[in-house]
Amino acid sequence: MLPVCARNMSFRDAVMIKLPAALCPGGTGGLDTIACLSYGAQQNLEGDIYVYLKNNMLKLGSSNVGNQPGSYVVFVREYIIENQDFQRWFYCENWISPSRKYQVKFYPQSGNNPTGACFVDSGPYLYIV
């Protein structure tokens, strides 16, 4: 059972999507991307997003970016550094789920958007959750 604070949705700022360490072939993981996940793993992620939405642990769309829980997500890649230790890098990238039900939208920081954004939204084809 989760501690009381972990069950309190008002404490949730983002959902972290951690990629497997050194995921992409031929590298140490520093350039890993969600595109290196197998189709089945991406389907599992799509299912996880559905579960988070159904349990009100995540919301869809830019209008929920500032809410808690909201639509913010963050990707984490894990890569090998000196002495075979691992380092983690938090980042964002655009992604469309296999069935096109959901997508992650990434808006980098800019003059018009000083904070940037990384959030889950409905996919290119609208589906009802």
Q: How far is CA 118 from the centre of its chain?
A: 8
Rounded Cα gap, residues 38 and 114, in angstroms: 34
Q: Domain spans of the chain?
A: 4-122
User: Which residue in the block uniquely carries the two structure tokens 């050194």?
Assistant: 22
pTM of this structure = 0.84
Q: What is the pLDDT of residues 29-78, one digit of tens each?
A: 788 899 999 999 999 999 999 999 999 899 999 999 988 899 999 999 99
Q: What is the pLDDT of residues 104-128, one digit of tens each?
A: 999 999 999 888 999 999 998 755 5
- Give the DSSP H/E element, type plus range, for residue 4: helix 4-7
- Give the DSSP H/E element, type plus range, for residue 25: none
Q: Tell me the Cα Rg of the chain.
A: 16
